[in-house]
Amino acid sequence: DFAGGVECVNELEDSGRVKRSLVRRPVAIAVTVAVALVISACVPLAFLGQGERGADSPSSLPAEPGDSVASFAAQEPDWQSCLDGMQCADVYAPLDWTDPAGERITLHLVKQPATGGDPIGTLFVNPGGPGASGADYVAENIDSAVQSDVARAYDVIGWDPRGVGQSAPVSCLDAAAMDEYLFGLDDTGEVGSDEWIAAARAESKEFGAACAESSGALLEHVDTGSTVQDLDMLRGIVGDAKLNYLGYSYGTYIGARYADAYPEKVGRLVLDGAMDPSASLSEVVREQTRGFELALRAYVTDCIERNNCPFTGDVDQSMAAIGTLLDRIEVTPLQGSDGRMLTSSTMLTAIITPLYSQSNWGYLDQLFETAAEGDADVALSLADFYYDRSNGEYLSNSTEAFAAINCLDYPNADDVEQMRAEAAELAEIAPTIGRFQGFGDLSCSGWPYPGVDERVAVSAEGADPILVVGTTGDPATPYRWAVSLAKQLDNASLLTYKGEGHTAYGENDCVNAAVDGYLLDGVVPKNGTTCT
């Protein structure tokens, strides 16, 4: 049951970086990301938009490189002052790394020069995604991206991976069409039925065709393997013999793939909120569904012990009330004040969004009370934050880039009977949200280009020590993935944070000290070190 009372929340902090859902229909949650947003006062959730990005990032291109791979790493960026003392630049990269003499794209970078004035090297930072802007992340959130001692010692660079932000962005739909794609009503029959699956395939094909029409040849070359080659080019451009790197969430996948491809060029790599490179899409969906169910249960456990909690009864009764609310919205969507309809899929997105950080759980109080009263606006505002949408416009291409990169990064699969079996398993392991999470493979079933990557274990044999950080209560990148990645890597140390939320660096003093000691002095925490 729902009880009255809403607790004012002062901050919405995306310390777990940004979040993107795999498809509009009630399927996969998918791996996520990062752009920090801090609100200093208790304001209506309708004002959660971050504002226009990238407009104050002037840069110019260097001389165009020659036709060899080496010539791209020899570029000299024309750094321009921008963004409150930071520096911005664009550089060239081959569209297709197998054809460096062919078409070129550009990559956008933002650098915070070492505040101590004498850098020991460059630290590249990626906030995750796929689809998050690393340039915006460093430009807008340098104080949370790295600790102050690290900022004093390193030039810190965030870049937009290919297909993202200001780096040859993928484009698919205008704002109105994206609203229909993400928020439109689904009246094609029961989820999992032949009719519903046919409609999902058709929608996936239509979306992919729109991306291909708007993005052209780029759409075939935004896979993580190409981004790894871009990153090695950037390492060469800044003149570092080895890569120093801080990756969050999906950014850990970039880092792990880099280490596996270039073990001799591994410097100090921190992989926080680790993905398991060997996990299939169905395994990712299963573990994330389990993780968000457990995170929701942790929120409810905390909520019922507080004043003004919107639930009455024990934890099981409260979880059942959430399930009943989702079922009710599934049958009868709610209309928001802007005319959009709140479906069960969008409601689930709204629930997931605050679960990335325990500091945001108070927003769930507001969400559940208002939705139970038939008010859709809080839920739609949380979904807007998730999709980087404000006042009817999308502030970035992160949702489109997310789809484009994922559809290349996983082998395409479309086995209906297997998907139905997996959907039944999800409903069993996550009784509250699992029944809304099946059929994730349909999201790429109509994509114009086949997946180019196999999900296999990495080893990075011969690399310098790599630091893997895992949080025991992380819903988006479950702790077992950090354990798995640390075991796969030939030379890795696992640092465990016993806590809630997605990623740990910047959230815990013990973790901060361990990571800073590694980045600054090369001191590797003993494998199995635990912070609380």
> 129-159 burial, b if ≥16 CB within 10 A, otherwise e?
bbbbbbbbbbbbbbebbbbebbbbbbbbbbb
* Bridge partners (DSSP) listed for residue 126: 247
Catalytic residue among 474, 484, 493, 516: 474
Name the pairing type of β-strands 154-159 and 104-112: antiparallel
In a 3-state reduction of DSSP, which class is residue 78? Answer: strand
Which of the following is catalytic: 108, 136, 502, 516? 502
Other C-beta atoms closer than 10 Å to the C-beta of 522 total 11
DSSP 457-521: ----TTPPPEEEEEEEE-SSS-HHHHHHHHHHSSSEEEEEEEEESS--TTT-HHHHHHHHHHHHH
Alpha-carbon distance of 203 to 206, in angstroms, equals 5
Is the CA virtual torsion 172, 35, 229, 224 positive or negative? negative
Look up 474 and say whether it is catalytic: yes
CA torsion through residues 228, 230, 233, 238, sign = negative
Q: What is d(CA 502, CA 523) in angstroms, rounded to the nearest whole number? A: 24
Compute the distance between CA of residue 247 and CA of residue 34 in angstroms, rounded to an integer.
Answer: 11
Do residues 370 and 354 make contact, with C-beta atoms less than 8 angstroms apart?
no
Number of H helices, E strands in the chain: 16, 14
CB 223 within 8 A of CB 408: yes
Rounded Cα gap, residues 16 and 3, in angstroms: 29
Tell which residue, 281, 250, 275, 221, has the closest CA to residue 413.
281
Six token digits for residue 484: 């798995």
Catalytic-labelled residue, pool 215, 226, 249, 396: 249
- The rounded distance, in Å, linking the Cα atoms of 266 and 279 is 23
Whether residue 249 lies in the annotated active site = yes
Active-site residue, 502 included: yes
Q: Find out whether the peptide bond into 130 is cis, omega within 30 degrees of 0.
A: yes
The residue behind tokens 């297909």 is 163
Query: Catalytic residue positions?
Result: 249, 474, 502
